[in-house]
Amino acid sequence: MTPDEALEGLSFVRRMARDGAVSVLLITQKFPEVESFGDEVTILRRGRRVGGGVVGCSRPTPWRP
């Protein structure tokens, strides 16, 4: 997938989520994508949840099961 195709696909999914048509699970290591896309974030390390919170907060909340 080219960078332009990736941007086009991300724009499509963003519109679908905004319109309430779907819920979206985005897996990425690119935090700017998360900030521009999501409402909430879950941070995983080695497959385990280690933090999360609302996008835009200064720091994610540590996970306490």
pTM of the model: 0.53
Q: What is the pLDDT of residues 21-53, one digit of tens each?
A: 777 777 777 777 777 777 788 888 898 888 888
Let me know if residue 55 belongs to a domain.
Answer: yes
Please state the domain count of the chain. 1
Overall average pLDDT of the 53-58 stretch: 72
Let me know if residue 11 belongs to a domain.
Answer: no
Let me know if residue 19 belongs to a domain.
Answer: no
The alpha carbons of the chain give a radius of gyration, in whole angstroms, of 13
Contacts of 33 (CB under 8 A, 6+ apart): 10, 26
The predicted structure's pLDDT at residue 51:
84
The predicted structure's pLDDT at residue 64:
61
What is the span of the domain harbouring residue 58? 24-65
Let me know if residue 54 belongs to a domain.
Answer: yes
Let me know if residue 16 belongs to a domain.
Answer: no
Let me know if residue 63 belongs to a domain.
Answer: yes
Q: Which residues pair with 48 in a beta bridge?
A: 45
Measured distance CA(4)–CA(12) in Å, rounded: 12
